[in-house]
Amino acid sequence: MTGNEHRVLIGTSSWRKKHWRKTFYPPGLPQAEELAYLADRLGTVEINSTWHGLQQASSFRAWRDKVPERFVFSVKAWQGVTHAGPLRGAERAIATFLASGPLLLEAKLGPFLWQFPETFGFNAEVMDGFFASLPRSVDEARAFIARNGGDIDRALADIPDRLLRHAVEVRSASFAQPRYRDLLRRHGISDVVTDVERDAAVDDLTADFVYVRFDDGVKRFPLGQSDDDLARHAERIRRWATRADVYFYFDDPDYREHPSDRPPFDAIALQRIVGGQGPEPGTTLQPSLW
């Protein structure tokens, strides 16, 4: 590969949705096999249950072993870190989260997603400190856990070292300023893209990867993406992929009131347009093919 080739992975935010059963998932498919079914068709998925509460190490091992070798999980960070206060002194909560098992995904671990509520406003000192505290490798994570009172079991101690990535999603308008983007860029953290119509979201990258959580609400759900929508997504992915790896997730945020089974179908359709292969996820797009 040359330096102009980057990895593109397309998937969904979560895989366990009741309203995907009997449409995306075949009737009668055991719930325990839903992840494997999705992973045979897409290259990545976002684990959302980790936001609601700490998961068991056995769950991460089971998820890891259910998917193909090159499949990638992004992991949404525990709300005990992002929603529990102003982040000062959050090191122990971060250590507890990291020690709970996400590192056990090993080579199948993609970016950590740190999502903050709308009530969390921008403070340059706080964000700089938070970004600086995030471990950038498995070895750094082990040292961070030990330093901040977390427990490292034998399995975690034996995991090979590798780099870790972090993406941050903020919702307060107070973050819409150059100083915040400067901090992201300085620390190599990706600003999560939710509004793919913004030119800045396409061109102003802050890390060596792009993290998209496409949330179109009820504008097009439950009908899904049109051919024109998918073509626009593909064009943006191609632009991003000349400079960075791309993780693109179709989200279904309003599923309780307006349930939709479209996200996995849209993800598969977009993957086909950009050249992805379900059973061989993690397709590398080459600019010469565009």
Residue pLDDT, tens place only, 28-56: 999 999 999 999 999 999 999 999 999 99
Residue 58 lies in a domain: yes
Q: Which residue has the tokens 């179109």?
A: 216
- C-alpha torsion 109→112→113→114, nearest 10: 160
Percent of the residues in the chain that have a pLDDT greater than 90, as a whole number: 73
At residue 125, the pLDDT reads 95
Residue 243 lies in a domain: yes
Q: Is the pLDDT reported for residue 288 higher than 90?
A: no
Q: Is the pLDDT reported for residue 285 higher than 50?
A: no
Q: How many domains does the chain have?
A: 1
At residue 3, the pLDDT reads 42
Task: List pLDDT tens digits, range 178-228.
Answer: 999 999 999 999 999 987 665 455 578 999 999 999 876 555 556 788 899
Residue 153 lies in a domain: yes
Residue 1 lies in a domain: no
Residue 81 lies in a domain: yes
DSSP 59-73: HHHHHHHHS-TT-EE
* Full-model pTM: 0.90
Residue 264 lies in a domain: yes
- Which residues form the domain of 174? 6-289
Task: List pLDDT tens digits, range 150-185.
Answer: 777 778 889 999 999 999 999 999 999 999 999 999
At residue 253, the pLDDT reads 61
Neighbours of 137 (CB within 10 A): 12
**Ranges 104-113, 147-156, 251-260: which has the least confidence:** 251-260
DSSP the chain: --TT-EEEEEEEE-S--GGGBTTTBPTT--GGGHHHHHHTT-SEEEE-HHHHSPPPHHHHHHHHHHS-TT-EEEEEPPHHHHSSSSSTT-HHHHHHHHHTTGGGGGGGEEEEEEE--TT----HHHHHHHHHHS-SBHHHHHHHHHHTT----HHHHTSPP-B--EEEE---GGG-SHHHHHHHHHHT-EEPB--TT-HHHHH---SSEEEEEE--HHHHTTT---HHHHHHHHHHHHHHHTTSEEEEEE--TTTTTS--SHHHHHHHHHHHHHT--SSS-SPEE-GGG-
At residue 286, the pLDDT reads 35
At residue 197, the pLDDT reads 62
Q: Is the pLDDT reported for residue 284 higher than 80?
A: no
Q: Is the pLDDT reported for residue 289 higher than 60?
A: no
For 91-114, what is the mean pLDDT? 96
At residue 194, the pLDDT reads 87
Percent of the residues in the chain that have a pLDDT greater than 70, as a whole number: 86
Q: Is the pLDDT reported for residue 290 higher than 70?
A: no
Contacts for 25 with CB less than 8 Å, ≥ 6 apart:
34, 37
Q: Which residue has the higher pLDDT, 86 or 102?
A: 102
What CATH number does the domain containing 108 carry?
Answer: 3.20.20.410
Q: What mean pLDDT, rounded, does the chain reach?
A: 87
Output phi, psi for 44, to 5 deg: -160, 160
Residue 63 lies in a domain: yes
At residue 20, the pLDDT reads 92
